[in-house]
Amino acid sequence: MEEDKYAKELEVAVRIVHIACSLCQKVQKGLLSASNEQVKSKDDDSPVTVADWSVQAVVSWLLSEIFGVQNVSIVAEEDVQTLSMSDSSNLLTAVVNAVNECLAEAAKYGLQSPNKALAASQIFEAISQCNSTGGPTGRHWVLDPVDGTLGFVRGEQYAIALALIEGGELVLGVLGCPNYPMKECLNYHQTMSVSPSSSDSWEKGCVMYARRGSGQAWLQPLIHGDVKFEWPNSARLIHVSSIDDPSLATFCEPVEKTNSNHAFTAGLASSMGLKKQPLRVHSMVKYAAIARGDAEIFMKFARSGYKEKIWDHAAGVVIVEEAGGVVTDAGGHSLDFSRGLYLEGLDRGIVACSGSTLHEKLIGAVYASWDSSHL
């Protein structure tokens, strides 16, 4: 890949994710210190907050302003259906306020603010424009505005994920992790929940990013207060862990049992010789933990019939791979992001490892364990 190819796209994406993290932190602070009126529930029972729609609107509006609306195709999780309902007027007001408050600060991130506050109709339009279905041709931004909504609502881990696919290939990924500390690791007794009453708990968070083929993944601290964002803003290289002994390895899996077969992963862990308890973490922060060397393995085996969506993995996959890790399905095949909204043709599950030694052992354990399980 040419050295400067996608340089502008990556820089814009990183700036946009930084401003989205700021928006989320403000909404979460309000959510944790107020009632839950700001939370709606989607058909699949996952809660959707003001932050989901607000981030989607902000990202859509900024990308369209910078690259031209006719050049921007966005695959994203949320639609305006719930927001359009007659009983959602308070929710809509909260979204409009959050979006405009966020965009008013765009200059701090080196981005352009609108000339005047956006009307509700413009915000609807921005959210509705995120209606692409991706596919093998063209250029598509892939957005998960708040990945790990349950983690967000509970004050735990969540992520803002933005990736770019061109010609069916992942070309860059940016992952904002507002509650992921810059220095300490995730640990077993604390799922990194935060309380709005302890001010220092908000002085953390980071953004990770990588461009396909560069062999490098980077981490930046989130900015706080009136500090102006500088590119590349104290970015430092990150790399996966060098641990390849299963007995020393840490493995992550989803918190929710509906999205992961914990019994099967426990059996795999045992057969591989993993000694540590699993880290159960909301969202793509699991990919961040591997890219940064805080964990060595992430495995996800969803219930039968569940289809993995591209926005739940795209940004994390490219960052882990460029940081030196390996991400495949459970058969050892690369993930295919060219087939629309879902990771079609997935063999059993998804595994991410810090290196090929652990990856080979894990794939071997899957094959050995699969027939005796009842997924």
Q: Kindly name the residue from 149, 250, 265, 328 that is annotated as catalytic.
A: 149
Q: How far apart are CA 164 and CA 142, in angstroms?
A: 6
Q: How far apart are CA 60 and CA 67, in angstroms?
A: 11
Residue 77, marked binder: yes
Give the N- to C-terminal CA distance of the chain in Å, as an integer. Answer: 40
Q: How crowded is residue 134: how many other Cβ atoms within 10 Å of its Cβ?
A: 23
223 and 18 Cβ atoms separated by less than 8 Å = yes
347 classed as catalytic: no
52 classed as catalytic: yes
Q: Kindly name the residue from 52, 250, 294, 329 that is annotated as catalytic.
A: 52
Residue 147, marked binder: yes
Residues 6 or more apart from 200 whose CB is under 8 A from it? Answer: none
Residue 200, marked binder: no
DSSP one-letter code for 227: P
Q: How far apart are CA 167 and CA 368, in angstroms?
A: 36
Q: How far apart are CA 33 and CA 224, in angstroms?
A: 20
Label residues 227-237 b or e (16+ Cβ within 10 Å = b): eebeeebebee
State yes or no: cis peptide before 232, omega within 30 of 0: yes
Residue 43, marked binder: no
H or E segment to which residue 146 belongs: strand 139-147
Active-site residues, by number, are 52, 149
Known binding-site residue numbers for Mg(2+): 77, 144, 147, 312
Known binding-site residue numbers: 77, 144, 147, 312
